[in-house]
Structure 1
Amino acid sequence: MVNNNNMENLNLKLGTAKIDITPKHPIPLAGFAHRQGNFEDVIHPLHARILLFKQTEADGTRQNVLIVSADLIWWGSERIPVLKERLQREFGFTFSSMLFHATHNHSGPQTSGRFTPSLGPLDFRYVVEALEERIIDGVRSALQNLESVRIDRGTGYCGFSINRRKVVEGEMTMAPNPDGPSDPEVTVLRFVRETGSTKALLVHYACHATTTGDNFVSSEFPGIAMDYLEDKIGGTTVAAYLQGYCGDVRPALIRDGAFYRGDDQEVCRLGQTLGDEVLRVMQSQMEALQTSRIISQTLTVDLPLQNLPTRSELKTKSAEGGIYAEWAEILMKHPERIHSSVPLEMTWVHLAEGLSLLTANAEMVVSYGLFIKDKFARRILPVGYTNGMIGYVPTARQIDEGGYESKDSVLYFGQPAPFDPLVEERICTEIQRLAERKDETCR
């Protein structure tokens, strides 16, 4: 922990920005194979919300952390290094201090060219011109309104998420499973100016943003909730969403025992439900967190795969058509992707006493998030969909069970093979090691 004698020297400043990243011309949306062609209309604009933290100690030492939360399905792994290098050159950020987070919105554009066309084709012009250039502008804007803040923390409950893995007639299917794990906890982080007003919010929750599959641009329930909070609080407050580890959790829209996709009315209902819970938490007794040195570290965990396909096997699959052909053609075109392991990148960011984020460039299933919360008494919040995307990361049990998250999704993400069950042990071991290093670093 930081020495209390130096606490007065650890003033935390925060700059914010909210920028429009809505596509300016019709392009395909990402996330659902059933959609065809370009989007039909814009129902709710897309935004990226920027929180830029700066801290200067008495000896002149400076730390900073940049959090960008965007109404996107994910950030493309191939573009993150390019964007980080530019921000490093222009603003001096270190690579580990930049978090590009996506709310996992399935009603926005594709941002990666690494996956099968069924997940949505990439419009490169959108990524470079409408997204990355706007982010740079937003960072410049955030630097112009830095203010000293303190951090309050509160916890609530939102019950519209449910596990989506269920064995039906001996097969693992995507069906409502109220007995499966989920995480209904809502964590609210309020950044308070010296005047007592709210400069920004971070809202952490874990649920797929897949309320609707309509072919319209929408910020889905996370974006609706953040817009709602900004409107209710007023002023220049920026409310940003942090998506938890929700790989096997989705909205509980259930009819006759099966999931259904809702429309915009359902999207708005869920968004307001989450927003109202955040407002309730803010009106309750929130905990003021003690100032601490902000720190960021990144680690990479190599996740082993099962048996890799041969070129002959890929040619056979290519002839089958459909998603198997898309998968096989990606790997034949990019044989460098046929490796025995996949790198999982996790970034730990420490913001205050008892408050850290642990991000992953993957769709981590909820059990990993519950492990982190339980292991560290909720001092660390698990945040997925950050700094790129490798695909789903299931548990050892889920790998044995099969199903979409552990087997079928491999095809859509162009992964050469399913994960080996050893991945769970490796991830949990590295998280434990990180925690031990963290305790030393924070002293």
Structure 2
Amino acid sequence: MSLDPYNLRKDFPILSQTMPNGKELVYLDNGATSQKPLSVIQATNDYYVKENANIHRGVYYLSQHATELFERTRIKTSHFFQAQCAKAIIFTRGTTDAINLVAQTYGRTNVSEGDEIVLSVQEHHSNLVPWQMLAREKKAFLKFIPILDDTTYDLSKLNEIITKRTKIVAISQMSNVTGTIHDLTKIIDRARQVGAKVLVDGAQAACHMPIHLVDMDVDFYAFSAHKMLGPTGVGVLFGKEEILEAMPPWLGGGDMIESVELESSTYAALPAKLEAGTPNIAGVIGFSHALDYLQKVGMKNIKEHERMLTEYALERMQKIGGLTIFGTEDLEKRGGVVSFTMEGIHPHDVGSILDEEGVAIRVGHHCCQPLMKQLQIPGTCRASFYLYNTKEDIDVLVHSIEKVKSIFGRVVRK
């Protein structure tokens, strides 16, 4: 079944609005966050209107019902991503929170002085700063997988980078800057050879393609609900059950305990041990409906639709003089992201003029400053697509970029 974005757009009320300047909204900042369908908005609202109660603690109906909805989402998430089991799904505040959880629990317990943590040079700050903090605390070393000119990983010296001293390999599956989709097989295989654990930052990949966690054979996988039609403030950490069982808690407090004495405590079983305090109940319930929506549309259909949009965008944008487009030309290795710069024009100026045309893109370093430094640029302009975007959206984008060139051409001539 093919995906019909024109029909899907009816489910997203924000996409039909007119901006204050009278222009129709063209939303192309899905890499930052996706828009939400009515079913997710209504489910979140219904929780507060009809079902509001804390979970796991009450014997009365509202609490029991809210608990059931919350835990049903955990099971649904496990099935959607083909995880090991529902207990291996830990709800967090987002990808950043999930990665910090691993760094501060598994990392603190298992990384020692002189050990190595392997990342790549194009990691989002969320998958860089937590490991910098851990390495500083433990006196460990950070090592980095480089990238080739097409922004794919350079694996030519992988055996020298991942060694017997490597304890953790933390790597992104899809770049939030270039959209490059990485084949992680060789990296995971090498990590297995030396006994290192693998964490995959799936913040960009999880929302755009089918993910089979058991087949991937990763130890940890982190992603956010808000990039895949769900509410903000909800993330997921998948971890292999035996590893999560051995990890100490990160946060202490309510719901993560089994028994508490004045000077000591014992901890609850998974997943409660790693979910201290009252969670974002409404957000998790809303995420359940986001998963339903994505399941109905089909992740394979979403991936193919974005591939078509990306091909169309590249074809049109490559005809515009003065543009530098980043990322691989191999569409099989590229998600729905086009990141570019315009000769002689700062990305912020591009973004501001596009905003005047109703086009919402992201400009700046995209929380990837080391990558920007390697590319020797201050930042890029990033258009990122999702299931509700159309070729007409890209036409407006291209027209707006041409307007930027026209405006700055007049400025130069003056």
Common fold by TM > 0.5: no
| Greater fraction of residues in helix | 2
Q: Flag the structure with more relative contact order, 1 or 2, with Cα contacts below 8 A and sequence separation at least 6.
A: 2
Length-normalised TM-score, structure 2: 0.24
Length-normalised TM-score, structure 1: 0.23
| Greater fraction of residues in strand | 1
Q: Greater CA radius of gyration, 1 or 2?
A: 2
